[in-house]
Amino acid sequence: MSLFAGGYAGRILYVNLTDGSIEKRPLERDFALRYVGGRGFSSRILWDELSPGTDPLSPDNIVILATGPLNGTPTPSASRLIAAAKSPMTGGLGDASSGGYFAPELKYAGFDAIVFKGRSPDPVYLWVEDGRAEIRPAKRLWGQRIHETSALLKEEIGDEDIHICAIGPGGENLVRYACVVTDEEGVNGRCGIGAVMGSKRLKAIAVRGSLDVGIADPKRFKEGVDAYRETLSGEVWTDVLRKLGTPNLVAHRQKLGIWGAKNFQRATIDGWEKISGETFREKFLQKVMGCMGCLVRCRRYSAIKEGPLAPTYTKGPEYDTINALGAKTYITDPAVILRAHHLCDEYGIDEQTAGSSIAMAMELYERGILTKDQVDGQELVFGNGEALLHFIEKIPFRKGFGALLAEGTKIMGQRLKADYYAIHVKGLEVDASDPRSLPTRALTYSVATRGSCHLRGFPYIDEFIKPEEAMAHFGTTAVSDLQALEGKGKMVAWSENWITLANLTGLCLFAWYRSRTFPMLIRRGLELVSEIYGAATGLPMTPEEFFRCGERVYNVEKLFNLREGLGREADYPPERFFREEMPDGPGKGSKLRSEDYERLLNDYYEARGWDKKTGVPTPEKLKELGLS
């Protein structure tokens, strides 16, 4: 019986895979109010219950699937699930999110989160249904790709409507960047959470629920949700996403010249039109799809029906697909990109890291650091789609050169004595774009708590904030100047606390974060969401307290990383960005200046209330957040 009037299910499932015991622990009111849900729960549980120095692929690591209080309620786009663990890629905090239908279903089954500990002696899956859970043998499923795994599970359980989180051969073979695939569509891609599941012999989690997710104050809730939906209807971003999906960003990246193409040796792509959002829509799109309760509907379902790579049917592609498998490897054949994407999803490996690792190997090959007989006899040059597809098939099974590729760029750099060409922060590859022309972006990607990530902060504020708003909020009009450095540390820090809130509630960023005005970021992201939260859960939550939760969670994550030995030296972008200038495009000639970055980092630490030299949160800051 939940002690919450709504929103939360009120229970966290603890599963010990070593001895097979399952425990249902109540969600404490205080815990919920301080950490809200999602990444808040997973980060705090990892801080509390994981010993520092744990080997991420040992039985002592913990995997957590966490929902937010708004999953399962009629809030628009409240579909996101967080999967978290200590990352085998960074040795620090790891988490990844996905959309779809799993998180709401887990709430309907009566649980806010599942915490997995230990290691099962044999492959198993967890079956969760209406308030109870059961560990079941997964011998038949082990070795299967994602598609077969889903089909077999649906057959075994006898229900087409179950929702599934699973790993593929990639996770089973402990590919360092193996991922978790949800319902064959959504992927908890980064940080190697799939490898941790594989190390626990946890093949899948299947869930079906028919319980209610309560709403404490239906009238107030409806008013909040209607206002929220209203703010989304006017957004240009919504229409663009529905039409082209995230691939709409291809044209934008080309225009600004901020690709990390050819392993960050080129900033623009010749023939980029062949892999634009428009091209993918025209040539391959079968259906526009969406997640639970979402009016944006950015998902794609595509098919290759002609040519040597037909037939291929797959969800996607996303912008990140095109970036990792196309831009980084400099491949402009869209069918190759789509096929590689499909294989990554089927085998359960993160396409970001796969593409980045192969791109790095391509550069090393072109420079003569890798020879042909080292790379399976492949002509491993940029633009070779055949080589890309060859290695995507090898990585999940650690075959041939795929065995080294399966480790990711950081370890490849160490083993091949080629660290300079490994473009990552803390061990997680730089994904979004080349930040050399905008140092604020470099700061955002480098201080992110899970490694290089463009969604841990929101530095784009300086693109549209007005000078008077910048003065009011950040104490200087410089924040509205794209090129200025003053005040940007503070801006990034604020944006991190703010953007974390989406990951706490279960809301999707795409329906939450884009806006043409700064006041809307506050109105929608802070005011309306805290209002909806209060109406759903019946718990008191002001926008200020809500913002404070974001800051609190972020600080817990920083503490976790510090405890694992990731200090100030890990908050830097790759050396390449300081040494080499952008070779082409509008940003040609730009590179990061050391003194600029030091200044930004110092300002950021100061704004966060962390020690300037070490990045350790000061006792005052911890006290302020109730963390001492």
Partner 1 sequence: MHPRLFFRPERCMLCLSCVLACELNSLAISDAREIPRGRRPLGRIAMTFSRGTPWPRKCQQCTTAPCVEACVTGSLVRQEGKAGILHRPETCVGCGSCLLVCPHGAPSYDEREERMFKCTLCSEEEAPACVRACQSRALVYREPNLFAWDKKKTFARELGRVHEGD
Q: Mask 306-325, x = binds partner 1 (CB under 8 A)?
A: -----x-x------------
Q: Say whether 345 sits in a helix, a strand or coil.
A: helix
Cα–Cα dist 125/142, whole Å: 10
Of 181 and 193, nearer to partner 1 (C-beta) is 181
Total residues belonging to the chain: 628
Of 241 and 478, nearer to partner 1 (C-beta) is 241
- 226: buried, middle or exposed (CB in 10 Å: 19+, 13-18, 0-12)? exposed
Strands (DSSP E) contained in 408-486 are 424-425, 428-429
Of 25 and 287, nearer to partner 1 (C-beta) is 287
What minimum distance in Å lies between the beta carbon of 314 and partner 1?
A: 9
Select from 55-63, 296-304, 323-331, 442-450 the region that touches partner 1 (CB under 8 A): 296-304
Q: Say whether 285 sits in a helix, a strand or coil.
A: strand
What minimum distance in Å lies between the beta carbon of 210 and partner 1?
A: 7
Q: Say whether 181 sits in a helix, a strand or coil.
A: strand
Helix (H) or strand (E) holding 277: helix 277-284
Of 286 and 542, nearer to partner 1 (C-beta) is 286
Residue 301 binds partner 1, judged by CB under 8 A: yes
For residue 18 the two structure tokens come to 């070593």
Half-sphere exposure of 280 (CA within 13 A, CB side): 36
Amino acid making up residue 586: P
Of 206 and 359, nearer to partner 1 (C-beta) is 206
Helix residue ranges per DSSP H, 538-593: 543-563, 576-579
Helix residue ranges per DSSP H, 305-407: 319-322, 334-347, 351-366, 385-394, 402-405
What minimum distance in Å lies between the beta carbon of 25 and partner 1?
A: 25
What minimum distance in Å lies between the beta carbon of 134 and partner 1?
A: 18
Locus of tokens 């966490």: 66
Q: Which of 302, 321, 497, 530 binds partner 1 (CB under 8 A)?
A: 302
Of 263 and 279, nearer to partner 1 (C-beta) is 279
What minimum distance in Å lies between the beta carbon of 232 and partner 1?
A: 17
Of 312 and 555, nearer to partner 1 (C-beta) is 312
Of 252 and 287, nearer to partner 1 (C-beta) is 287
Select from 15-23, 224-232, 294-302, 482-490 the region that touches partner 1 (CB under 8 A): 294-302
What minimum distance in Å lies between the beta carbon of 312 and partner 1?
A: 10
Select from 271-279, 295-303, 413-421, 578-586 the region that touches partner 1 (CB under 8 A): 295-303
Q: Say whether 14 sits in a helix, a strand or coil.
A: strand
Select from 105-113, 286-294, 353-361, 607-615 the region that touches partner 1 (CB under 8 A): 286-294
Residue 335 binds partner 1, judged by CB under 8 A: no
Cα–Cα dist 317/275, whole Å: 10
Residue 287 binds partner 1, judged by CB under 8 A: yes
Select from 81-89, 240-248, 299-307, 450-458 the region that touches partner 1 (CB under 8 A): 299-307
Number of helices and strands in the chain (H, E) = 27, 17
Of 311 and 368, nearer to partner 1 (C-beta) is 311
Residue 371 binds partner 1, judged by CB under 8 A: no
For residue 221 the two structure tokens come to 């809730």
Of 289 and 616, nearer to partner 1 (C-beta) is 289
Cα–Cα dist 202/196, whole Å: 9
What minimum distance in Å lies between the beta carbon of 58 and partner 1?
A: 40
Report how many residues bind partner 1 under the rule CB under 8 A.
Answer: 11
Of 188 and 302, nearer to partner 1 (C-beta) is 302
Q: Which of 286, 371, 414, 594 binds partner 1 (CB under 8 A)?
A: 286
Select from 63-71, 284-292, 514-522, 558-566 the region that touches partner 1 (CB under 8 A): 284-292
Contacts (Cβ under 8 Å, ≥6 apart) of 19: 118
Contacts (Cβ under 8 Å, ≥6 apart) of 541: 33, 530, 533, 534
Q: Which of 216, 303, 520, 607 binds partner 1 (CB under 8 A)?
A: 303
Cα–Cα dist 514/544, whole Å: 21
Helix, strand, coil tally for the chain in percent (to 5): 45, 15, 40
What is the DSSP-derived secondary structure letter of residue 509? G
Select from 297-305, 335-343, 377-385, 438-446 the region that touches partner 1 (CB under 8 A): 297-305
Cα–Cα dist 242/463, whole Å: 23
| Closest to 407 in 3D by CA, of 176, 92, 169 | 176
Cβ(1)–Cβ(212) below 8 Å: no
Select from 26-34, 289-297, 519-527, 613-621 the region that touches partner 1 (CB under 8 A): 289-297
Q: Which of 33, 152, 251, 289 binds partner 1 (CB under 8 A)?
A: 289
* β partners of residue 402: none
For residue 478 the two structure tokens come to 């410089």
Residue 132 binds partner 1, judged by CB under 8 A: no
Cβ(512)–Cβ(520) below 8 Å: no
Of 76 and 413, nearer to partner 1 (C-beta) is 76
- Which residues, numbered 199-228, are part of the site for partner 1 (CB under 8 A)? 210
Of 40 and 293, nearer to partner 1 (C-beta) is 293
Contacts to partner 1 by CB under 8 A? 210, 286-287, 289-290, 297, 301-303, 311, 313
